[in-house]
Structure 1
Amino acid sequence: MTEEFAADVLICGAGAAGLALAIDLARRGISFRLIEKMGGPFHGSRGKGIQPRTQEIFEDLGILDRLVAIGGSYPPERRHRDDGSYVDSDAMTHEPPTASEPYHLPLMVPQFLTEGLMRERLEELGHRPEFGRELVGFGQDADGVTAHVAGTAGDEILRVRWLVGADGGRSFVRHVLGIDFPGKTLGVRAIVADVVLTGLTRDAWHRFNEGNMARQIAFCPLAGTGMFQIQGPIPLEGDIDLSVEGLAAMVAERTNRNDIHIQSVSWASAYSMNARLADRYRVGRVFLAGDAAHIHPPTGGQGLNTSIQDAYNLGWKLAAVADGAPETLLDTYEEECRPVAAAMLGLATKLLDALKRGDMRRSREVHQLDIGYPESSLALEQPSRIGGLLAGDRAPDAPIRGAAGQSIRLFDLLKGAHWTLLGYEVERGAVPPRRGMHIHIFGSKGDMFDDEGHFRDAYAPAAGDWILVRPDGYIGAIVASADMETLETYLAQVGLGLVGAGCD
């Protein structure tokens, strides 16, 4: 007798990670519940940087153009001197987009606007978060998870196949699982506040007393709003007045100016910076994602973006297993994402040390375009490749042409919930079609043409190569035509085996 579940997945936490996972599951037709113990949406700007790799993910999820429309680019940094003069500089390294990397600059969108657009996209897919619903207990067995959810609408016992804790740095899910969260407090406490003010122009990110941890303060005009985000270190101990009057006093003391006036405070927080990484991302049928699995100092804009990466990696795997793929596929979530978070933690900590010295420069290292999973058990090359694009790497974009004559991007072929198999000078029909995989052929009799050589430059294919791109835009396998049996074995392991394969 088949057990009945209230949903395939219960997502605890409707921040960026939970929303991204919900969107991904929704577009794949996987049932889920998304609960959030807060009574309504988060309304602060905390994670305002959308890195280039996350822009690619948001393009796939269908919200990038909307984010660009309400957001903006980062302004130049204006360092104010004590004598009233200032100097402007770019904190971001400016590189033009390329054929393989269409987005090269971080986008500024306050977190509450980003999450608002994500909720809008989720509603288009027929779902919405359940605010005021708190996970207060759960247990699991070999077949599923039993969750106790409480709220003003009453208590509920849910039986689901999997539980995902995307419930922040103080994660209840992580606590119940008994997963250690080692790391360190970084010896920096700071404020962040969204305010309306007068006395500063909106054409620059204003900084005062750079390199002085006792008096530093910065004012960043928040794209898409009429507000500024105030940032500044504060003493490690003691209460901080985050009211209009309290912030006004801090601003006057640190800037030595009396013409900057705080009109209102929309949101403000005092916090201690930590760098912590969960020992495990999974216990049985329960997973951690986002800040529940890793917390970073805000330097370099890595936290929200790494959380989105978690969800984008986990979503297609949960969907595949729900649809019949082997359960072992879920083991690769921690295998792939935990090392990425560890690296991002180290980067953010390094950038914090630079910030203490007054160095705000940011370059490619924060863009997350070089994230990959080359050591993953899901990365297959047959034969092995030396240099160039490898299995596990991010799949590059490329301007190409369809056989009907239209100009398109390779990302257009990858967009969606499916796998994509690209053949280069191969025989059509060598790989039988199957549900969940799109096949495109480059070559004289193919449906795609690489007139300008961008695909060849990015992928360096040999004649007869098959390149399999995962649903999350990473290279799963690169296999020569002589090794088709190896490719078929791989496809079966990820849930793409031929229907009826192995039957008489």
Structure 2
Amino acid sequence: MNTYDYDTDVLIVGAGPTGLALALDLARRGARSLVVERTDGLFPGSRGKGLQPRTQEVFEDFGVLDAVRAAGGRYPLGVIWQDGERVGEHRMSDESEATEAEPYHEPLMLPQWRTQEILFARLTELGGGVAFGRELVDLAQDADGVTASFAAGAPVRARYAVAADGGRSAVRRALGIGMTGTPGMSMDPNPTLVADVRITGLDRDNIHVFPPSGGEGFMVIFPLAGTEDFQVAAQFPEGTDVDLSLDGIRKVVATRSHLAPEDVTEVRWASDFRPRAALADRFREGRVFLAGDAAHVHSPAGGQGLNTSVQDAYNLGWKLGAVLSGAADPALLDSYEEERLPNAADMLGLSTQVHRGEVRRGAATRQLGLGYRGCSLSVETREGLPEDALHAGDRAPDGIRGGVRLFDTFRGPHWTLLAVGTDTGLPELAGARTVRIPAYEAYGTGVFLVRPDGYVGWAGVTAEGLAEYASLVGAA
């Protein structure tokens, strides 16, 4: 194969939420991508079931939020059981209210398999798809591209490749990138069962919490929104060989609750794992990028893993699209690791604290406060701003001013040039939609260039210096 003959622009290894979200984002930008998945179908379980408000904003941009909200539901109130009696209540996260700037304020529950189905359907609508049964066995790269070899089928040549193939990433191993973890985030030695089951004898209006008792670990049973299933999560002592069979799960449920073994009527999917938090040493090697669990592995307790992974895809998608179209120099891709690695590290720390019971799920776990202040793509030209003011690098708030809803304006693969409460002159930017609105307290006044992923890239009192920035990032 000639070095310059490419089968696709971007090879995405792994058809989980990360890979599907990235492929979807690239498809709406007109970039060619190929998703390869070693298994014969999409992941069948509910391991990642919480969609944080920031992820809901991303899904609105992708055009799938209505389907997500129709299929999912709110996290119900938890009830605590002891000796067959309800003895207390437990809320999974601190309560909050929607605001004009933050219209989505609480996590949604949606089993991972259903989230993937919705993303896959949207990808198909945009002309994309997944090649199943394609197990990667080798990856080589040179100055011009990446060549992937598979256990069966022809090799694939691409300009770039993305590892979205999970915590045991074959791509990461092929690149020799270590997954060394971070201080204070060691492996939890206690194995945890997670299973999707059918149960009789429990209501679907509550999450059912069974505290540790008699030497047994905790157990929580979640009614999975939009399905007839429950998810059982149960922890075991170190060294336990977890039985994933129907009889094994029946025994766990009967031992730790007031339910009878036969109340568990079916096991639809089951797995055991050891909660851990680990971070890849780097998120890029030449033309190959790590995203999702291939780059960071979280305890599920904080509800951050799937959500942080979608944010990786959302960050990388517009940058790859700009470079592939020729709108931006390849140096733009250097900002992916710069922006995402510190955020992933912060989310790992948060997940670990939630896992240990040191902090509750709340504002931080909703991910609306994450941003890229101080990074090279965040250019703030105004002086003397208070810390709590909107800065370059922050998430661009929603709101309605002058008959314009900002999220409607931002939706799509473009940049948005936003003038707030000013009639100052604005440059013509081919890659941006220009909008003027009256003064709005969430922004103050000034000129804001909002990135395709919904963060403020450039901010100023006037547009002086904006055109130069726009030419560097693909907005001009």
TM-score range with shorter-chain normalisation?
A: over 0.9
Which of residues 153, 161, 164 in structure 2 aligns to 1:163?
A: 161
Checking the alignment, whether the CA contact within 8 Å between 1:182 and 1:276 is kept in structure 2 is yes
* Shift in Å, 1:148: 1.4
Q: Which residue pairs with 1:219 in the alignment?
A: 221
**Number of equivalenced pairs:** 468
Q: Which residue pairs with 2:263 in the alignment?
A: 261
Structure 2 gap ranges (5+): none
Aligned-residue RMSD, C-alpha: 1.8
Q: Which residue pairs with 1:353 in the alignment?
A: 356
Distance in 1, Cα, partners of 2:215 & 2:228: 28
* Shift in Å, 1:236: 2.3
Checking the alignment, whether the CA contact within 8 Å between 1:421 and 1:440 is kept in structure 2 is yes
Distance in 2, Cα, partners of 1:211 & 1:310: 40
Q: Which residue pairs with 1:473 in the alignment?
A: 454
Q: Secondary structure of 1:100's match?
A: coil
Residues 480 and 213 of structure 1: is their aligned pair in 2 closer, same or farther, counting only changes over 3 Å?
A: farther
Q: Which residue pairs with 1:456 in the alignment?
A: 440
Residues 241 and 468 of structure 1: is their aligned pair in 2 closer, same or farther, counting only changes over 3 Å?
A: same
Checking the alignment, whether the CA contact within 8 Å between 1:12 and 1:165 is kept in structure 2 is yes
Q: Which residue pairs with 1:285 in the alignment?
A: 287
Q: Which residue pairs with 1:419 in the alignment?
A: 415
Q: What is the one-letter code of the residue matched to 1:275?
A: A
Structure 1 residue 493 corresponds to structure 2 residue 472: yes
Residues 260 and 348 of structure 1: is their aligned pair in 2 closer, same or farther, counting only changes over 3 Å?
A: farther
* Shift in Å, 1:258: 2.9
Which of residues 186, 205, 208 in structure 2 aligns to 1:206?
A: 208
Checking the alignment, whether the CA contact within 8 Å between 1:213 and 1:233 is kept in structure 2 is no
* Shift in Å, 1:213: 7.5
Q: What is the one-letter code of the residue matched to 1:3?
A: Y
Checking the alignment, whether the CA contact within 8 Å between 1:381 and 1:478 is kept in structure 2 is yes
Q: What is the one-letter code of the residue matched to 1:5?
A: Y
* Shift in Å, 1:427: 4.5
Checking the alignment, whether the CA contact within 8 Å between 2:9 and 2:324 is kept in structure 1 is yes
Q: Which residue pairs with 1:434 in the alignment?
A: 429
Residues 257 and 424 of structure 1: is their aligned pair in 2 closer, same or farther, counting only changes over 3 Å?
A: closer
Which has the greater radius of gyration? Answer: 1
Query: TM-score, structure 1 length as denominator?
Result: 0.89
Checking the alignment, whether the CA contact within 8 Å between 1:50 and 1:109 is kept in structure 2 is yes
* Shift in Å, 1:308: 0.2
Q: Which residue pairs with 2:135 in the alignment?
A: 134
Q: Which residue pairs with 1:447 in the alignment?
A: none
Q: What is the one-letter code of the residue matched to 1:457?
A: E
Residues 94 and 51 of structure 1: is their aligned pair in 2 closer, same or farther, counting only changes over 3 Å?
A: same
Identity of aligned residues (%): 48
Deviations, residues 46-94 of structure 1 (Å, cap 9, x unaligned) = 0000000000000000000111101110010100123623322422222
Listed as ranges, the matches of 1:64-463 within 5 Å are 64-82=65-83, 84-151=85-152, 155-183=153-181, 184-210=186-212, 214-258=216-260, 261-324=263-326, 325-354=328-357, 361-387=360-386, 388-402=389-403, 408-427=404-423, 430-442=425-437, 450=438, 456-461=440-445
Distance in 2, Cα, partners of 1:258 & 1:3: 64
Q: Secondary structure of 1:195's match?
A: strand
Checking the alignment, whether the CA contact within 8 Å between 2:213 and 2:256 is kept in structure 1 is no
Checking the alignment, whether the CA contact within 8 Å between 1:8 and 1:161 is kept in structure 2 is yes
Deviations, residues 241-261 of structure 1 (Å, cap 9, x unaligned) = 211111111111111543771
Structure 1 residue 12 corresponds to structure 2 residue 10: no
230-239 or 245-254, which deviates more:
230-239
Distance in 1, Cα, partners of 2:190 & 2:251: 21
124-133 or 239-248, which deviates more:
239-248
Q: Secondary structure of 2:277's match?
A: strand
Q: Secondary structure of 1:187's match?
A: coil
Checking the alignment, whether the CA contact within 8 Å between 1:251 and 1:260 is kept in structure 2 is no
Distance in 2, Cα, partners of 1:187 & 1:347: 19
* Shift in Å, 1:211: 8.3
Residues 260 and 203 of structure 1: is their aligned pair in 2 closer, same or farther, counting only changes over 3 Å?
A: farther
Q: Secondary structure of 1:4's match?
A: coil
